[in-house]
Structure 1
Amino acid sequence: MLKNIIFTVFILSIYSGTAQNDNRVTYSLSDCIEIALNNNLDLKSAALKAKTSEVNFHQTRNEMLPTLNGNYDLGVSNGRSIDPYTNDIINQKLTFSNAGLGLDALVFNGFRLMNSIKRDRFQLKASEMQTEEARQDLILAVTLAYIQILNGKDQVELAKSRLETTQQQLDRLHVLYKEEVGNPADYTDMQGQIAMDQMGVIIARNNQQEYVLKLLQLLNTDLDPNAQVTFDSFKGLVSSEKYPLTADQVFDESLQNLATFKSKQFQINAAIFGIKAARGNYYPNVSLFGRLNTSFSSSAQSFTETGTIVRETGEFVDINNDQYPVMRNETQFDGTSIGYADQFNNNFNSVFGVSVQIPILNGFRAKNRVALQKILKEESLIDFENTKLSFKQSIDQAYLKMESAYDRYFILQDQVKAYEESFRVNEIRFNNGVSNVVEYITSKNNLDSARLNLSNAKYEYLLRVKILDYYRGI
């Protein structure tokens, strides 16, 4: 059902309140994550790559099985050819047919195939971990985009609150301005301030719209311009207790739990067995084979004796100066074609044996293949170490920013309280004509900036915590 949940293309409707209550859709973070896992194209692409590795693994494993192949030929020959039945040279139209069955079974090839199976099994596990890595990356990206939306939502609310406060003062000064009471510059200064606050609302809404569009790209979902979308807020964003782990502890957990490191380790193992498989080319290949064959020829005939006749041989004998021809008896035969089935039975033959191929000189292909696999192993080791270094640096940076946001959050809470009291006093004084508009606007902007910074610190802390949890494999 979540696949059919639809987002809005006009994000301004989130705050306009014009949509009807029965058309309001609220999404939690878990809703967005589930939609993304079902629809995201990058994740689907990673899953297809894992399926490809699975097929390759099954194909390599199946090469352990014997091969059994049959063949059948049927053709017509015209002109000079060899009779497949008598091996005589003939010059006639001939119909021929051959059938055979061959069996080949590998016995030994230097364990090359067994090591190839182990290599492909580790490659399959690496692909599965890459799919899990893509899944974790997507969850993190959706989470961070969701947090940005919540932050943007708060920014819009703060901007609207600033605008509302300024509008109230502008309305009050407008009455005084029409009655020509007080300083006219206060009214025009407040007009300038309200224009600035209106721009702040527009900028905040545009930023919020960009955050939502970014999330929609991750979710890869259709849009409904008639829906009013809201997002659930987190509760208790900043705990009074600091993050329970150190940066080194987070890194240690990432080495144990994160799919990225598991994938890299599987690739190293695959490279190790790739070397062993390549070394199998140094050894002889031993296999068993068997062949069954038979044939048919339209010229094949069987002959039946029908009698004898006397024929002259062409030679003569001289008796008393008289020449007499030499005669002989010749047996007469009647030829009949041999049937198709009979020929297949009569011409049947079988061959069985052992085949041994010994590598002597093959252009150093075996040596070069081993060398290439060793290079691949070294590349895998370097890639693993480089990934560890990159993650260690990212974790350290995220941890420092998390601590900074944590400290700033509590400091900014005190600042907001102080500026709230200052603004309350200045607003009373300004309304009573004791202070001028510059003092009022300054006090108001200080409070607005402090509230904005507090909101940013709150969501930055949450964002960094989520990143650290991701590195821990949570």
Structure 2
Amino acid sequence: MPSNAQSKKWTLTECVNYALEHNISIKQTELDIKTSTIDKRGAVGSFLPSLNGNASHSWNIGLNQDITTGLLQNQTTQFTSVGANVGVDIYKGLQNQNTLRRANLSIVAAKYQLLKMQEDIALNVANAFLQVLFNKENLKVQADQMSINQKQLIRSQELVNAGTIPKGDLLDVKATLASDNQKVITAENSLLISKLSLAQLLQLDNFQDFDVVDDTEAKDENSILMQTPIAIYDKAKEQRTELKIAQTNLEIAEKNVAIAKGALQPTLRGFYNFNTRISYADIALRDNSGNIIGTQAPPAFFSQFGDNKGQSFGAQLTIPVFNGFAAKNNVERSQVNLEKSKIAVEQQDLDLQRNVYTAFTDAKGALNAHESSIVALESRQEAYHYAKEKFDVGLMNSFDLNQSQTLLSTAQSDVLRTKYDYIFKIKILEFYFGIPIIKN
């Protein structure tokens, strides 16, 4: 955890940026992009000629005919051979071209996958961040409520001493105070757990000293609700990453079909071979009659290298006739995968439409719920103040006052819950409209 993480409070923007930089899943996806880039380099290499060299040195030990006596005797002879061959594809059913196009598409798909993961992580971080904010404010509400009841306990003791209210009312207040203490403990635990969830998303170790600050704004957030669902859907179709991934995978499937069909066509390959050999055995000297009259040392190494060289070149045409239906099955398999990719695009489009309409409905519902909770809170506050005044003059017992306090506390929690639920639902809707989770 950064050393300054304990001394400062994190904003939503800082949390999202930190998660995008340190998340393990994102790092793995970045490696997938590198793998796709390597695959592209291999596809480019298929257009280049292949060049291979070879060299060997051998020892022949055993009975060999002596070139001077003609007799067999144990001898050791040595030979060196050197060669090279070059090959290049002239025509291969356009497989190399389609493989390169597929490699380019694979890089695009990998980048879309990375972007999709970044978007998902940003959403998850935003959700966890808002949950921490809710739990922080909810803890404050519960603590304030307990503070009020502590003051009420003192006031109730005074009223009991004055004989204004019975002692049973004082016991009710004490029971309520104990319940408030339990609510504070529950709120503290909820806050701790939400901090843990957010810290884990950020890959942080020390979550107990980790804290956030509210940099979100609920006001004017409903501007996105001025759009129609169909307008948001049309915008999402142009920008949503998951749809682009499906469309790119469809293009990759089309290239796979083309590559498989290319394997059914003849292939033409050009080749060039070079070889030479060097012998270390003595050479027989002959007279004009062909009789061996002696031996001489073999020619120099590089002289033999040039004298004994040989070359061949040409073209090789390969026509696929029958290969156990392997090529045909590959074509059919790739065509099936192409149909599956088409269906995946259609399904992704339907899912996107459903998600947009659901997000729009959820956002409007969250706005209505938040506005209603504010109205309810105002009513509960007035009701509580009225009940408090009656209790202070002995016209209301502690049970009824506690009921009013409980309803007020519930209304305060509802305002907080609906506020952050509304902010998150709006961010989801903006997300589909192309507005980023954070404004950099």
Structure 2 length as normaliser, TM-score?
A: 0.91
1:302 to 267, 283, 299: 283
Q: Is the 8 A contact 2:284 2:293 kept in 1?
A: no
How do 1:275-290 residues align onto structure 2 when only pairs under 5 Å count? Answer: 275-290=257-272
How do 1:378-457 residues align onto structure 2 when only pairs under 5 Å count? Answer: 378-457=339-418
Q: Deviations over 1:256-303 (max 9, x none)?
A: 10111111101101111111111111211111110111112332x334
What is residue 44 of structure 1 aligned with on the other side? 27
Shift of 1:30: 1.0
* Structure 2 counterpart of 1:394, one-letter code: N
Shift of 1:236: 3.7
Shift of 1:75: 3.2
Q: Provide the C-alpha distance between the structure 1 equivalents of 2:38 and 2:300, rounded to a whole number of angstroms.
A: 47
Q: Deviations over 1:126-174 (max 9, x none)?
A: 1110111111111111111111111111111111111111111112223
Q: Provide the C-alpha distance between the structure 1 equivalents of 2:265 and 2:151, rounded to a whole number of angstroms.
A: 91
1:266 to 216, 227, 248: 248
Shift of 1:7: 4.7
Q: Deviations over 1:49-78 (max 9, x none)?
A: 122112112211211111111111223333
* Structure 1 counterpart of 2:95, one-letter code: R
* Structure 1 counterpart of 2:123, one-letter code: L
* Structure 2 counterpart of 1:437, one-letter code: S
Structure 1 position 463 matched with structure 2 position 424 = yes
Structure 1 position 375 matched with structure 2 position 356 = no
2:188 to 177, 196, 205: 205
Q: Is the 8 A contact 1:7 1:221 kept in 2?
A: no
Secondary structure, counterpart of 1:26 in structure 2: coil
Q: Is the 8 A contact 2:77 2:280 kept in 1?
A: yes
Q: Provide the C-alpha distance between the structure 2 equivalents of 1:377 and 1:66, rounded to a whole number of angstroms.
A: 32
Structure 2: stretches of 5+ with no match in the other structure:
67-71, 436-440
Structure 1 position 220 matched with structure 2 position 218 = no
Q: Provide the C-alpha distance between the structure 1 equivalents of 2:278 and 2:249, rounded to a whole number of angstroms.
A: 55
What is residue 291 of structure 1 aligned with on the other side? 273
Alignment size in residue pairs: 430
Q: Provide the C-alpha distance between the structure 2 equivalents of 1:331 and 1:384, rounded to a whole number of angstroms.
A: 85
Q: Provide the C-alpha distance between the structure 1 equivalents of 2:379 and 2:337, rounded to a whole number of angstroms.
A: 62
How do 1:107-146 residues align onto structure 2 when only pairs under 5 Å count? Answer: 107-146=90-129
Secondary structure, counterpart of 1:165 in structure 2: helix
Q: Provide the C-alpha distance between the structure 1 equivalents of 2:93 and 2:292, rounded to a whole number of angstroms.
A: 64
Q: Is the 8 A contact 2:195 2:210 kept in 1?
A: no
Secondary structure, counterpart of 2:8 in structure 1: strand
1:241 to 1:72, Cα distance in 2 relative to 1, 3 A: closer
* Structure 1 counterpart of 2:216, one-letter code: F
1:337 to 278, 298, 302: 298
Q: Provide the C-alpha distance between the structure 1 equivalents of 2:291 and 2:349, rounded to a whole number of angstroms.
A: 97
1:118 to 1:140, Cα distance in 2 relative to 1, 3 A: same
* Structure 2 counterpart of 1:257, one-letter code: Q
Secondary structure, counterpart of 1:230 in structure 2: coil
Q: Provide the C-alpha distance between the structure 2 equivalents of 1:177 and 1:82, rounded to a whole number of angstroms.
A: 133
Q: Is the 8 A contact 2:23 2:201 kept in 1?
A: yes
What is residue 255 of structure 1 aligned with on the other side? 237
Q: Is the 8 A contact 1:159 1:200 kept in 2?
A: yes
1:73 to 1:240, Cα distance in 2 relative to 1, 3 A: closer
After the TM superposition, which of the residue ranges 168-177 and 235-244 deviates more from structure 2?
A: 235-244
* Structure 1 counterpart of 2:251, one-letter code: N
What is residue 312 of structure 1 aligned with on the other side? none
Q: Provide the C-alpha distance between the structure 2 equivalents of 1:31 and 1:81, rounded to a whole number of angstroms.
A: 84
* Structure 2 counterpart of 1:220, one-letter code: Q
What is residue 4 of structure 1 aligned with on the other side? 2
Secondary structure, counterpart of 2:55 in structure 1: strand
Q: Is the 8 A contact 1:7 1:224 kept in 2?
A: no
1:254 to 1:239, Cα distance in 2 relative to 1, 3 A: closer
Secondary structure, counterpart of 1:155 in structure 2: helix
1:438 to 1:268, Cα distance in 2 relative to 1, 3 A: same
Q: Deviations over 1:356-385 (max 9, x none)?
A: 111111112221111111111112122222
1:371 to 1:90, Cα distance in 2 relative to 1, 3 A: farther
1:100 to 1:239, Cα distance in 2 relative to 1, 3 A: closer
1:26 to 3, 9, 16: 9
What is residue 43 of structure 2 aligned with on the other side? 60
Shift of 1:342: 2.5
Structure 1 position 363 matched with structure 2 position 324 = yes
Q: Deviations over 1:410-446 (max 9, x none)?
A: 2221111111111011111111211111211111111
How do 1:308-347 residues align onto structure 2 when only pairs under 5 Å count? Answer: 332-347=293-308
Shift of 1:38: 1.0
Root-mean-square deviation over aligned CA pairs: 2.6
1:331 to 1:268, Cα distance in 2 relative to 1, 3 A: closer
Structure 1 position 243 matched with structure 2 position 243 = no
Q: Is the 8 A contact 2:221 2:426 kept in 1?
A: no
How do 1:96-175 residues align onto structure 2 when only pairs under 5 Å count? Answer: 96-175=79-158
